[in-house]
A and B are shown apart, each in its own frame.
Chain A
Amino acid sequence: MAGSEPTAGAVAAPDTVKILIAGGFGVGKTTMVGSVSEIAPLRTEEPLTVAGLEIDDLKGIEEKRSTTVALDFGRITIGDDLVLYLFGTPGQQRFWFMWNDLAVGALGAVVLVDVRRPESSFAAIDFFESRRIPFVVAVNGFHGEHPYPAEEIRASLALPEGVPVLLCDARERESCRDVLIALIDRVIADVTLGSGPAR
């Protein structure tokens, strides 16, 4: 690394941290990013022929040459010296080899769940649980409606003890903010207990 000393006349680079917004395809990840981000969500696309260089098996990807993995993200400036980035993870399972890179160094994750098809978020829950990355589950209500109480959803997802379950509306800034604060509280609790976010 070239170091972090500010050069003459330059603005000092801020510290950066990130949170992942995960969950099944079409569950509202980009909507959530957009609701709290100070900028319109940005998108980068990685051609799979680049991103998948270390993957031997590309079976099932018929249009190899034109397949891209899109990553949507947003930004929240916490202060002059600290910026938080929110990354929506690719929803389709076949792109999960990207998740390891994404997960490295993340403060934690929000797993969005669609009550109409909760099974689409099972894999995301497994992913963060197995890597001991702190996460909260946020149930995104269809049209903001929540037919099931949080405890019922917790039971149906077989969540480990201590994982918070929140009902949210991914379209609402305050609702998404509260989910992120719940996640940070969870991370603080982990760190305080000394277990720390494992990598």
Chain B
Amino acid sequence: MSQGDEAGRLVRPFTLTGGRTRPSRADFTLITTVTAVDPPPERAARPQPEHARILRLSARPVAVAELAAHLDLPVSVVVIMLCDLLEAGLITARPPRSVSGAADLDLLQKVRDGLGRI
């Protein structure tokens, strides 16, 4: 966020969300990946400009935190818009992989091997 326009930025993001400050769903974590549905549903209304930006950025799968960084918007604001898009059937969302037990050892080994290659 550039200096000097903080006050403006605090007002503006919530004009993008119809004044709502809470997501209607808790589905979106920082590393939930979202993907634009292609082609979009036939009866979908024309998206608002910020929604359209999200759809362009999510033509390939992208994490919520990355979207927020690219849009230069708070995660909390992006999540609210993602809820709208999800409800409109314009995106799909994939939750993060949870790791809780021995069944996940393969995944952990994969991460370890991957780190060994960097």
Contacts and interface: CB of A to CB of B under 8 A. Distances in A.
Interface string B86-104: 1001011111111111101
Contacts of B63: 16, 75, 83, 85
A188 B105 contact: yes
B44 interface: no
Interface string B36-79: 11110000000000000000000011010110111000111100
B112 A65 contact: no
A68 B35 CA distance: 28
Contacts of A45: 1, 74
A197 to B, nearest CB: 7
B110 A78 contact: yes
Minimum-distance CB pairs A-B, first 3: A78-B114, A42-B69, A13-B61
Contact of A15 (B1, B22, B70, B97): B97
Interface string A54-85: 00000000000110100101011111001111
A104 B29 CA distance: 9
Contacts of A87: 30, 65
25 contacts: A1-B27, A2-B93, A10-B35, A10-B38, A10-B60, A13-B33, A17-B111, A18-B30, A42-B70, A44-B74, A46-B74, A46-B75, A51-B74, A53-B22, A65-B7, A68-B6, A73-B69, A76-B115, A101-B30, A105-B98, A107-B111, A177-B115, A181-B112, A188-B112, A194-B102
Interface of B: 1, 6-7, 9-10, 13, 21-22, 27, 29-39, 60-61, 63, 65-66, 68-70, 74-77, 86, 89, 91-102, 104-105, 107-116, 118
Contacts of A4: 92, 94
Interface string A104-119: 1101000000000000
A48 to B, nearest CB: 10
Interface residues of A, number: 64
Interface of A: 1-18, 36, 38, 42-47, 49-51, 53, 65-66, 68, 71, 73, 75-79, 82-85, 87, 101-102, 104-105, 107, 173, 177, 180-181, 184-185, 187-188, 191-192, 194, 196-197, 199
Given A11-B61, A14-B33, A107-B111, A50 B21 contact: yes
Contact of A47 (B10, B29, B86, B100): B10
